[in-house]
Amino acid sequence: MNATENSSRCFFADTMKSLSEIGKTVRHYPRAVGLMWRASPKETVVFSVLNLLSAAVTPIQIWLSKYIIDEVVAAVQETQGTAHLRQIVFLVGLQLLIWLASNAITSIINMLRYPMGLRVSHYTEELIFQKLSRLDLAFFESPTFFDQMAHAREQSIQRIPNFVNNFAGLLSSILILVSLLIMVANLHILAMLSIIVLSIPHLIATSYFGKRWFRLLFRQTAERRLVNYLSNLLSTREPVKEIKLFGLHRMLIERFHTLSQKFVRENHTLSIMQEVFQIALNLLSTISTAGIWLYAAFRAIGQQITIGDMMLYFQASERARSTIVNVFRSSGTFYENSLFLEHLFSFLDLDPKAVEGTLHQPEKGTKLKEVGRPLQEGIVFESVSFTYPGTEAPVLKDVSFTIAPGECVAIVGRNGAGKTTLVKLLTRLYDPSDGTIRLDGSNLKAYHLENLHNQFGVVFQDFIQYHFSVQENIGFGQIDAYEDMARIRIAAEKAGSLSRIEKLPKQFNTVLGRTLEEGVDLSGGEWQKIAMARAFMRDAQILILDEPTAALDAVAEEEIFQRFNELTAGKTSVIISHRFSTVKMADRILVLEDGLLIEKGTHDELIAQNGTYAEMYTLQAKHYR
């Protein structure tokens, strides 16, 4: 089999498959239209009605043109053509009104199109954000999930406005086409059939290329994410220092250029192929229209139809040819958009347990508990092990310990020892792979998740810098009280950030970060104090501080030390730190190494053991002698 035959067979197979899948994607149309309706109900109704009115304009104009021409011919042939002149003036005036109405309808449709598409896009993105808020942290460890999310967000959201326009345009074109084909059928039924039959290849081609475009964009998803990542590296504030110092601009730009040009080449090749097919198919349908014109002209010469009839068939056949091509082209685009909508709806319908490592879901009817106040028995880890989804090596191995109510426990260990993972398990962002974590004698799984999370005030090492006002940055720690300024001031004072806030241009109303023009940026230590204030804002029973003084200078760190007992008073607290000056203030210290709990005790007890903790403490302490 030669290459040409093989290519033809592949084209035929892909075409048949594309045609068979059209029926499958049709099931998404009602849901997509429902999405449009929920996002913008009034505009959807007006948009649909105006498109229906717009569809009536073309056939009416063609009919009026026929009568105007017939009246002109009659006026020429008669010596007394006054009545015909009055009729011509009336018909031209009517035609003018229809043109004006058509222009007005088109203008209104154009005015509605963009804001309606924007509303639908924003509504769709809100649905995606709501879906993301209901998914466990395990999903965000999966590269496959990020591809799914990229398909839903980048492609589907971009195509929702196209779907809105395409849907209305397709409906209007179909109505116009039906009326035009009925006109052409009055000339001869074969004239109508020739337009339909010779236009079918357009449907096949558009279905085929719609599938090809979908496959191409689908295949490029991961690389497009890389292009976006390179774009962010080259255009955002945070990486610019290192990129300049290391001279990375040229290499990163070259990599961006290489990937971008690859996209251009692939898209260009497919575009050329599609247009070559389109030219050939347009030629075929144009020949059909020319045949209809000849037939209509011969009938007019034989006085079987009027000159107006002939012009009607001329216009109707040509408009029918171009309209049916547009319908098939729009159908192909509609089909292509529907393939992307399928990804959107698949994402929105994603099973919350679709990936490994999602949180255990209680059986229906199970009554979940709420954490009592104050804590009575504290926290217990019983033989806890954990392996991240998609990996094989366990991060924690058979870890057991207790934390009494009101006790302050520090966790130390080298990077990768499992310290932060332990916090993720304690706050039930993950469930253990093996073993049990108990709070006041009950498995964490027995508690209502939102109520459980409310028990924790947490400052993660990689805390978020919200580019909002100071008030919001702190108030987000207790969202239902983020307007309680008295409480926010107390939280800021506890974190040692109040004096700095009072010096800001608008104090608590000052916007932080450089996203907005009026934003004020803070140093790393000042941002960390804001994050600590956010944790203190919450009326939490358990305080977790992951590297709480890492970005603080010596003076600020000493201030925190002096007030440490006050800050943790009445709370069960867990501190992760590489700074042993912080760690030694804890009631007990846990030492992790390679996921194992190898030592536990007070600072003095661990120093006396002369083990791993003593070694790390000595190494750090000698730099301060």
The whole-number pLDDT of residue 513 equals: 84
In this prediction, residue 486 carries a pLDDT of 93
Higher-pLDDT residue of 514 and 495 is: 495
- Report which of residues 294 and 281 the model is more confident about: 294
CB under 8 Å to 586, separation ≥6 — which residues? 408, 409, 410, 575, 603
More confident of the two residues 282 and 304: 304
> Is the model's pLDDT at 434 over the cut of 90?
yes
CA distance 316 to 53: 18
1 pLDDT more than 60? no
* The two structure tokens encoding residue 432: 């253990």
Low-confidence winner among 456-465, 527-536, 610-619 (lowest mean pLDDT):
456-465
* Angstrom distance (rounded) from CA 539 to CA 174: 62
According to CATH, what is the number of the domain 379-624?
A: 3.40.50.300
Distance CA 47, CA 515 (A): 37
Can you read off the two tokens belonging to residue 234? 């080259």
pLDDT value at 182 more than 60: yes
What is the model's pLDDT at position 551?
Answer: 62
In sequence order, the 6+-apart residues with CB closer than 8 A to the CB of 441 are 376, 377
Mind listing the pLDDT tens digit for each residue in 108-120?
Answer: 888 887 788 788 8
Mean pLDDT value across residues 245-258: 77
Judge: domain 25-348, CATH 1.20.1560.10: yes
The pTM for the full model equals 0.71
% residues pLDDT > 70 (the chain): 85
* pLDDT reported for residue 266: 79
Query: For residues 116 and 38, what is the distance between their CA atoms, to the nearest angstrom?
Result: 11
Least confident interval from 221-225, 346-350, 377-381, 420-424: 221-225
Domain ranges of the chain: 25-348, 379-624
Judged by average pLDDT, the poorest of 22-26, 121-125, 145-149, 492-496 is 22-26
| Arithmetic mean of pLDDT over the chain | 81
- Tell me the longest C-alpha to C-alpha distance in the chain: 127
